[in-house]
Amino acid sequence: MTYHFRQALVAMRGNFTATLATLMTMTLTLLMLGFVLLLTLNVNRTLEQLESQVEVAAFLNVGTDGAALLKQVQGFPQVREARLVSSEEVLEEMTRDSPYARDAVTLVGNPFPTTVRMRVGRVEDSRVVAAAVARLPGVGDVEYGAGYVDPTVRALTAIRAAGYGLVGLLLMGTLFNILNAVRVAMYARRNEISVMRLLGATRGFIRMPHVIEGVLLGVLAGAVALAVLTPAYFGLARRVQLLAPVFPVVTDPAVLAPILGGVALLGITIGLLGSLFASRRYLQELE
Amino acid sequence: MLHHEHDFILPNNAALSIRCRGKRMIDFKHVTLEYPVTRTLALDDISMHVGKGEFVYLVGHSGAGKSSFMNLVLKRALPSKGEVRVAGEALAHYRGGRTALLRRRMGTVFQENLLLPHLNAYDNVAFALRVTGVAQREWPARVTTALRTVGLEHKKYALPLQLSQGEQQRVAIARAIVSDPPLLLADEPTGNLDPDNSREVLKVLQNVNLRGTTVVVATHARDLVETFRHRTLTLRKGKLVRDDPYGGYAL
């Protein structure tokens, strides 16, 4: 194994430019992936918070059978929980928030309609549920905070999708770089490989230095990516907490460790798989 | 393991007394080799055998089929027709990873010595043991014995560039025999050498043969074939046209 390890280091030093290019692309890919994963984690956390706050409220027309409508609404699979709030209860709430509401009642009567309040399983479902409930007979109007839920969900989903798309492209770029690095290294060793084959070396023996090279590149790229990503994330998290405390930024190490560890592990896996594939393919080419 | 140390200089006809011991090391049965891309007929219905412990020359003009013969034995090419056996086993049985095991049973020497330029003579010879997984503790004794057999024990720390062509070829022979293979294939081993070095290399090959190793030498060198007489197979345009048990170059 010492021999293979030494050969891998010799190959990396001998093809320094290709090695550096591969290392940089891998690191960039892992950084991007880490960024997108952390972003997704925080997006999900924000969406969860939105979910816990967002309510769909259906205001019933006078004379509507609220209990029957509640049953109907509870039958929707997207609705996690629903309750009927009478106009008197609404008035109570409103009076708590603004005491002058009680004075208004003495002038015009209770202006608040009986309301069915619903919480949805996923915040993205708010619009669908609102539209479905609005079509039910006896429902006068529906509110669901459309002003901020829709654009927020759209923006966050788009950012997440773009991030994953970019990571996909970078992963492909990394794989091509590994293929190229292994190919150059094997070409440089072609005389040695030819001698090894004549002497009866197995394919595994010949390929081993290149596989080690791929794994080493993965380990290095993973380490660099973590060294950059971890302090950068915690620095950014502190700033967000300071400037926009409304966002629930994740800083719990127990939650972050598997994601950061996964990024490093992915680097090693890409290095291993890329070099396994490349060494197998280019050894056949040399044969 | 190399067990015996022989005198480096041998009488020219020393190997004649140990020729053909009955069992077959190489066996060709109606072997035809046609290269598919160029449709070149390299070997045409060859049937012959080389006995264990024999020293055999393979002679012929360029393109006669000598290298194709070697390539078949090494399983670098597959016969279009017929069967090739080495040490009693059909080469068709060696597939994929098993080809490496076949090659461990043969030493090979080529016109270009294929020494690794960054390794000294000792390490070049030890390389054969490394790639076949021989325990490192066994290397010193085996490498030293192999280098002694080719008369280069005193130059074990020399890099290939510091050795003459003949010495480089002898290191290549040491590398080929260090695993103690029962068969040694030499394809034009003296092709790049002057007459003196060629004679030295031939003497080393005879020395190897005296240890019991079957040796097959493909060569153009008429003077060597005439001087160091052994069984000689003559190929012409892919056909085996002559099998002279007492040697001689007759094209």
pLDDT number for residue B19: 38
What are the pLDDT digits (tens) for A214-257?
A: 899 999 999 999 999 999 999 999 999 888 887 888 989 999 99
Residue B198 has pLDDT above 50, yes or no: yes
Count of C-beta atoms within a 10 Å radius of residue B166: 20
Q: Report the percentage of chain B scoring pLDDT > 90.
A: 49
Q: Considering only residues A18 and A222, tell me which one the structure prediction assigns the higher pLDDT.
A: A222
- Mean pLDDT of the A10-19 span: 80
pLDDT number for residue B140: 94
Same domain? For A181 and A46 the reply is yes
pLDDT averaged over every residue in chain B: 85
Residue ranges of chain A whose CB lies within 8 Å of a chain B CB: 3, 191-192, 194-205
Residue B11 has pLDDT above 60, yes or no: no
What are the pLDDT digits (tens) for B77-105?
A: 889 999 999 988 888 888 777 888 888 88
Instruction: Name the packing angle between helices A146-188 and A126-134 (round to 10°).
Output: 140
| A197–B103 C-beta distance less than 8 A | yes
Give the CATH number, domain containing residue A106: 3.30.70.3040
| B74–A200 C-beta distance less than 8 A | no
Residue B119 has pLDDT above 50, yes or no: yes
| A203–B97 C-beta distance less than 8 A | yes
Burial (CB count within 10 angstroms: exposed 0-12, middle 13-18, buried 19+), residue A68: exposed
- Taking 3-state DSSP, the helix, strand and coil percentages for chain A, each rounded to the nearest 5, stand at 75, 10, 15
Confidence of residue B249 (pLDDT cuts 50, 70, 90): low
pLDDT averaged over every residue in chain A: 85
B233: three-class secondary structure by DSSP: strand
Same domain? For A22 and A80 the reply is no
- Mean pLDDT of the A279-283 span: 85
Same domain? For A70 and A206 the reply is no
ipTM beyond cut 0.85: no
Residue A22 lies in domain? 2-50+150-286
List, as own/partner pairs, every contact residues B162-165 make where C-beta atoms lie below 8 angstroms and the sequence separation is at least 24, other chains included.
B163/B121, B164/B197, B165/B113, B165/B192, B165/B193, B165/B194, B165/B197
pLDDT number for residue A179: 83
Given A92, A126, A144, which residue is the final one in a domain?
A144
Residue A176 has pLDDT above 70, yes or no: yes
- Mean pLDDT of the B127-154 span: 91
Name the residue among A191, A192, A199 with its Cβ closest to that of B103.
A199
List the domain boundaries for chain B: 14-22+51-75+96-244
| B116–A201 C-beta distance less than 8 A | no
Q: Report CA torsion sign: B82, B87, B89, B95.
A: negative
* Cα–Cα distance measured from residue B162 to residue B117, given in angstroms and rounded to the nearest whole number: 10
Residue B112 has pLDDT above 70, yes or no: yes
Confidence of residue B251 (pLDDT cuts 50, 70, 90): low
What are the pLDDT digits (tens) for A83-141?
A: 999 888 888 888 887 777 777 777 777 888 899 999 887 777 888 888 899 899 989 88
Given A144, A170, A185, which residue is the final one in a domain?
A144
Residue B1 has pLDDT above 50, yes or no: no
Minimal C-alpha gap between A212 and chain B (Å): 17
* Cα–Cα distance measured from residue A49 to residue A72, given in angstroms and rounded to the nearest whole number: 27
Same domain? For A154 and A256 the reply is yes
- Structural domain total, chain A: 2
Instruction: Give the best residue of B108, B131, B173 to mutate against chain A (max A CB count within 10 A).
Output: B131
pLDDT number for residue A287: 63
Sequence-distant (≥ 6) Cβ neighbours of residue B128 within 8 angstroms: A199, B175, B176, B178, B179
Same domain? For A92 and A170 the reply is no
Instruction: Give the best residue of A3, A193, A198 to mutate against chain B (max B CB count within 10 A).
Output: A198
Residue A166 has pLDDT above 90, yes or no: no
Which one-letter DSSP state was computed for residue B119?
A: S
Q: Give phi and psi for A138, each to the nearest 5.
A: 95, -10
Question: What's the half-sphere exposure (Cβ side, CA atoms, 13 Å) at A170?
Answer: 22
Poorest-pLDDT segment among B14-18, B20-24, B113-117, B201-205: B14-18
Residue ranges of chain B whose CB lies within 8 Å of a chain A CB: 74, 97, 100-105, 108, 114, 116, 127-128, 130-133, 175, 179
Same domain? For A198 and A248 the reply is yes
B132 closest CA partner among B61, B181, B77: B181
Judging by DSSP bridges, how do beta strands B183-187 and B106-110 pair with one another? parallel
Same domain? For A89 and A191 the reply is no
Structural contact between residues B196 and B141, judged by C-beta atoms closer than 8 angstroms: no
* Cα–Cα distance measured from residue A284 to residue B105, given in angstroms and rounded to the nearest whole number: 23
The three state secondary structure string of B157-223 is CCCHHHCCHHHHHHHHHHHHHCCCCCEEEEECCCCCCCHHHHHHHHHHHHHHHHCCCEEEEEECCHH
Same domain? For A230 and A275 the reply is yes
Same domain? For A7 and A38 the reply is yes
* Cα–Cα distance measured from residue A132 to residue B145, given in angstroms and rounded to the nearest whole number: 91
Same domain? For A37 and A168 the reply is yes
Name the residue among B104, B114, B132 with its Cβ closest to that of A195.
B114
| B114–A199 C-beta distance less than 8 A | no
Structural contact between residues A169 and A29, judged by C-beta atoms closer than 8 angstroms: no
| A195–B116 C-beta distance less than 8 A | yes
Same domain? For A268 and A206 the reply is yes
Residue B203 has pLDDT above 50, yes or no: yes
Q: Which fold has domain B14-22+51-75+96-244?
A: Rossmann fold (3.40.50)
Chain A residues with CB-CB distance to B173 below 8 A: none
Confidence of residue B27 (pLDDT cuts 50, 70, 90): very high
Given A144, A176, A191, which residue is the final one in a domain?
A144
Q: Considering only residues A168 and A230, tell me which one the structure prediction assigns the higher pLDDT.
A: A230
pLDDT number for residue A235: 94
A43 closest CA partner among A140, A136, A164, A132: A164
Chain A residues with CB-CB distance to B86 below 8 A: none
pLDDT number for residue A146: 58
